[in-house]
Structure formats: C-alpha cells, structure tokens
C-alpha cells in the first residue's frame, strides 16, 4: 500500500529568525503528519473493505477522535454488519485493535503515566499538552494511573502467592553478593476518604553491589549499583515479601546481560554459583558443558 501526500509551506520572511522558523516548521510538520495519519487510515479501511466484500455490509460513516503522539486526530470509519456473526461493529477499529471508548494510543497513555509518576496530575497534563499539542484532562490521566495500579497490584499478588503460598521458587541467578544495602522508610498519610483509617506509605531502595568510581583516584571511592526501588502502602509482611520478589526479578537480568556481552568468566562463575545454590540439575550441567565447548560459536565468534 502506497500513500502520497504533499506538503507546501509559505515561509514568513519578515522578522524571521531561527527560533521563529523552528516553531513554524514544528507546527506545520505536526499538522502534516496528522493529515497523513488520517489518509493512511482511510486507505487501510478502503482496502480491507474491498477484500471483505460479501462478508460485511457497509453502513454509515461515524467519526472518531484519537490522541496520538502527533496530537488529536479526527477520522471517520464505516459502521458495518458482520454477516456471519449477525452483529454490528466498526471494521477499521477491529483491524487496528482500537477498543470501544479508547481515546489515546498506547504511546500517549504510557507517556502520560510516566509524567504522572514524576509530577502532580495537573502538571503532567500541561507537560503532555506541550509534547503532543493537545490537552488530555488530568482526571483522565488519574483514571489511567488507577487502572494501571490495579493491574500491577494484581500481578504482584499473584507472584507473592506463587512464592510464599505455593512455595514456588523465585527466579534468581544464584550469585553470591559481596554487599547488599537496603534502605526502607515510611510515612503516615491521612486518608482523604471519609471514615478511612490513616495508612503508611513505604519506600525501599536496594543495592546489591559496588564498583570503583575511578581507577586513578588516590583514595578509593565506591558507588553502589544494581539499584531496585519498590514502594507500596500494604502491610509490613506483604511489603517485605513483594520487595524480595522484586529484587530477585531485577537481579536475574544480570545473568542474561553477561551472556549477551560475551563475558565468559563471569558467566561461568555465576552459573556455577547457581549450581551450588539450586542443587544438582541435569539441565544446568548440560548448559555448562555446552558453553564450555561451544562458547565462541554461541557468541558468533566461530573460527
């Protein structure tokens, strides 16, 4: 599928400087991108409707709005009747995976949540408007944060039950740490809900290693590394268990990183430590033997 669109610009010359030119081009290019976006959607729908002729019946066009990283776009799509299922829907929405009442792309929602983590909701709203050129209400960003938080809580509870209720082993690399630093603090927060008790917000920062800041410095100074952050308002027991799982998941990534970086000695040492910690494992023995014999080929450095 090929789509063609032309951009023509009338550059103002009076009082022109690089800053004015930057603002002008940024605005025009963004508007051009939105037009191209809508045209691509029209072409996709036309092509797919032609391919589905006989299986869907076209009805009227219905407008829809969507916040994208280019800003707010408005496009029209056909309401259709799916003949085999005897139900109505929007063909383009189904093709693109757009859910009912979805007002933004995944990127916009993710960016809004990233800003909401760092700033108050109203400020996050203003920063997002500056980035995409259109405004999403702070209430919407708050609702997204609540929905995402609920999903994260459910995932954490599932992992916690697997490890501490069903005795499933948490994944880890078996590495013996030279140093582990754990900092935990909490503060009481007054609930804004009528009749609700005050609760404690807890925050943990964990480090599980150290590295020399400079090889040339006269006095040795070390910085902590492998940082893990976890926060929550659950009770102390739940907080501790979920913190443990979070740390294990983060540290597990180190083994794969060493493998892809080709650090043979460090990778071998970690695997052997895992062997000692986890106990006898035929699969682990096979993996160790294979890597010893085929390291160069495995890393793409065969002779």
Helix H, strand E, coil C: the string for 217-275 is CCCCCEEEECCEEEEECCCHHHHHHHHHHHHHHHHHHHHHHHHHHCCHHHHHHHHHHHH
Q: Report residue 115 as tokens.
A: 């800003």
Start-to-end CA distance of the chain, whole Å, equals 44
For residues 38 and 74, what is the distance between their CA atoms, to the nearest angstrom?
Answer: 7
Sequence-ordered strand ranges (E) for 21-90: 56-68, 71-82, 87-90
What's the confidence (pLDDT) of residue 261? 54
What's the confidence (pLDDT) of residue 1? 77
pTM over 0.85: no
The 10s digit of each residue's pLDDT in 106-141 is 999 999 999 999 999 999 999 999 999 999 999 999
For residues 129 and 71, what is the distance between their CA atoms, to the nearest angstrom?
Answer: 9
Low-confidence residues of the chain: pLDDT under 50 = 255-256, 259-260, 273, 276-278, 298-303
What's the confidence (pLDDT) of residue 255? 47
Instruction: Spell out a b/e string for 121-155, using b for 16 or more CB atoms within 10 Å of the CB, else e.
Output: beebbebbeeebbbebebebbbebbeeeeeeeeee
What's the confidence (pLDDT) of residue 263? 54
What's the confidence (pLDDT) of residue 293? 59
What's the confidence (pLDDT) of residue 302? 42
The 10s digit of each residue's pLDDT in 195-224 is 788 888 888 888 877 788 887 777 888 888
For residues 141 and 143, what is the distance between their CA atoms, to the nearest angstrom?
Answer: 5
């Amino acid at each position: 599928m090929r789509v063609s669109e032309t951009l023509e610009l009338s550059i103002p010359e009076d009082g022109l400087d690089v800053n004015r030119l930057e603002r002008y081009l940024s605005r025009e290019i963004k508007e051009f991108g939105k037009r191209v976006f809508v045209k691509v959607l029209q072409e996709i729908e036309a092509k797919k409707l032609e391919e589905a002729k006989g299986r869907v019946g076209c009805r009227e066009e219905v407008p829809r709005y969507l916040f994208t990283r280019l800003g707010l776009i408005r496009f029209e799509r056909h309401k259709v009747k799916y003949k085999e299922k005897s139900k109505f829907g929007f063909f383009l929405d189904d093709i693109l995976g757009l859910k009912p009442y979805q007002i933004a792309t995944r990127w916009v929602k993710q960016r809004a949540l990233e800003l909401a983590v760092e700033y108050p909701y109203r400020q996050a709203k203003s920063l997002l408007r500056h980035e995409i050129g259109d405004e999403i209400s702070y209430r919407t960003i708050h609702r997204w944060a609540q929905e995402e938080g609920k999903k994260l809580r459910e995932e954490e509870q599932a992992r916690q039950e697997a490890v501490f209720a069903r005795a499933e082993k948490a994944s880890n690399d078996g590495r013996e740490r030279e140093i582990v630093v754990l900092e935990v603090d909490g503060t009481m927060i007054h609930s804004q809900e009528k009749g609700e008790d005050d609760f404690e917000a807890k925050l943990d920062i964990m480090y599980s290693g150290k590295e020399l800041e400079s090889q040339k410095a006269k006095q040795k100074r070390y910085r902590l590394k492998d940082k893990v952050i976890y926060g929550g308002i659950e009770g102390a027991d739940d907080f501790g268990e979920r913190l443990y799982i979070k740390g294990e998941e983060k540290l597990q990534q180190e083994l794969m990183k060493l493998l892809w970086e080709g650090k043979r000695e460090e990778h071998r040492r970690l695997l052997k430590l895992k062997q000692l910690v986890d106990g006898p494992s035929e699969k682990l023995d096979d993996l160790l033997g294979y890597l010893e014999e085929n390291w160069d080929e495995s890393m793409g450095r065969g002779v």
